[in-house]
Amino acid sequence: MFDLGWSELLVIGVVALIVVGPKDLPMLFRNVGRFVGKAKGMAREFSRAMNDAADESGVKEMAKGLKAATNPVGSAMDGVKSATKDLTAAIDPTKFDPDSETGKLAAERAEQVRKIQAATARKAAERKAREAEEAEALARSYETPAEPTPAPQDASKDAPGDSKT
């Protein structure tokens, strides 16, 4: 917009602090923010009004015509893209005649997809079970057995000075 860097903004801030003073600086920034917001809103509304006027006068159609004249391959590709989009929206792959070749192939492919999904799910479950077993085995290998605690000894046998003789 104005191509201001951080150093220029810092200089402007210091000058504003000196000129306006620290007490009135927040009010100044608030007013500047409101002004900038109003200016952006007016610019947005002006741009929207100009676009609406261009749409009403047919500028977009002329731009499409100029594009087609200057780039016929691009405009042809745009036509192909829009036609394929319309065609793919019109065709529903689940609504084939079951007696036709296409319907039979669709049924075969659907069955193959179900088999692949079942096999994939089974393999994933087996892998998760195997990984869980490996994790348990690893956890058991890190566990150290508790050291046995010595049994308490009878104090009357070994107490020094308590001889009964």
pLDDT on residue 160: 57
Query: Is residue 55 very low, low, confident or very high in pLDDT (cuts 50, 70, 90)?
Result: confident
pLDDT tens profile 93-135:
566 677 788 878 888 888 899 999 999 999 999 999 999 999 9
Residue 65 has pLDDT above 80, yes or no: no
Residue 83 has pLDDT above 70, yes or no: yes
Instruction: Judge whether 105 and 113 are in contact, CB under 8 Å.
Output: no
pLDDT on residue 102: 81
Rounded percentage of the chain residues whose pLDDT exceeds 90: 27
Output the six-digit token pair for 155: 């104090």
Residue 153 has pLDDT above 70, yes or no: no
pLDDT tens profile 3-34:
778 898 889 888 988 998 889 888 988 998 99
pLDDT on residue 25: 87
Write the secondary structure of the chain as one string of H (helix), E (strand) and C (coil).
CCCCCHHHHHHHHHHHHHHHCCCCHHHHHHHHHHHHHHHHHHHHHHHHHHHHHHHHHCHHHHHHHHHHHHCHHHHHHHHHHHHHHHHHHHCCCCCCCCCCHHHHHHHHHHHHHHHHHHHHHHHHHHHHHHHHHHHHHHHHHHCCCCCCCCCCCCHHHHCCCCCCC
Residue 155 has pLDDT above 60, yes or no: no
Instruction: Judge whether 133 and 126 are in contact, CB under 8 Å.
Output: no
